[in-house]
Amino acid sequence: MRFFFFIPNKQFTQHLALFTIGVIVGAVLTTLAIGYQMEKIHNENSYLKVQLDEKENQIKALEDKVSEAKRWFIVKEIEIDLELPQRNFADEENLKIKIEEQVKDMLKNIRGKRVKELDPQVIWHIVDKRKIEALGYHFTLQVKGVLVSEKIIFYVYAKYIAPNQQEEPVIISVNVKKLNSETAKA
């Protein structure tokens, strides 16, 4: 076996040295670029893990609320079944809408409450015998019935009050002793 050794010339040695240095510099730069990308991916992965944990906690809290809502009936809707007197009002549909809007405003705090915690007598008296004004007309509300469940239904009659009609009788109190003493002097 023979080995042939040839003595490289100076130019070939320089090229080989430059190639080796180029490979080493390229490997270092590639390592730095890959390291930068790995660091960036690691940071993004950590951020996404934190976001995932936060979203899982939110989902768990919402599931707990939903399961609690399923255990307890909660008032979700309030409906007003309104009856107006047999009278010709200028805009009866708009009048009904305005009265229903005012009644729902009176009952706005009930929405979202547990049905079990509501006392039907108390909610009855929130609306019953209330005086309201809608489109220039005056009414006294009379509750005919209340259905309490997830959807509370109020059956209300709006009694019209004429402008010259007094709603409450006027009671005049007279001091009888004073009256007797004045008539005795006269």
Q: Are residues 100 and 129 in the same domain?
A: yes
Q: Are residues 58 and 90 in the same domain?
A: no
Q: Are residues 33 and 103 in the same domain?
A: no
Q: pLDDT tens for residues 72-111? A: 678 888 888 888 888 777 778 888 888 888 888 888 888 8
pTM attached to this predicted model: 0.50
Q: Are residues 22 and 61 in the same domain?
A: yes
Residue 100's identity, in one-letter code, is E
Q: Are residues 50 and 94 in the same domain?
A: no
Count of structural domains, the chain: 2
The answer to whether residue 47 is domain-embedded is yes
Q: Please identify, among 24, 41, 71, the residue that sits at the C-terminal boundary of a domain.
A: 71
What domain range is 55 assigned to? 12-71
The answer to whether residue 121 is domain-embedded is yes
Q: Are residues 143 and 93 in the same domain?
A: yes
The C-alpha atoms of residue 89 and residue 136 are separated, in whole angstroms, by 11
Q: Are residues 105 and 153 in the same domain?
A: yes
DSSP designation for 145: E
Q: pLDDT tens for residues 101-123? A: 888 888 888 888 888 888 878 88
Beta bridge partner(s), residue 74: 114
Q: Are residues 23 and 83 in the same domain?
A: no
The answer to whether residue 170 is domain-embedded is no
Q: Are residues 60 and 106 in the same domain?
A: no
pLDDT grade for 25, boundaries at 50, 70 and 90 = very high
Beta bridge partner(s), residue 80: 154
The C-alpha atoms of residue 78 and residue 13 are separated, in whole angstroms, by 93
pLDDT at 152 > cutoff 50:
yes
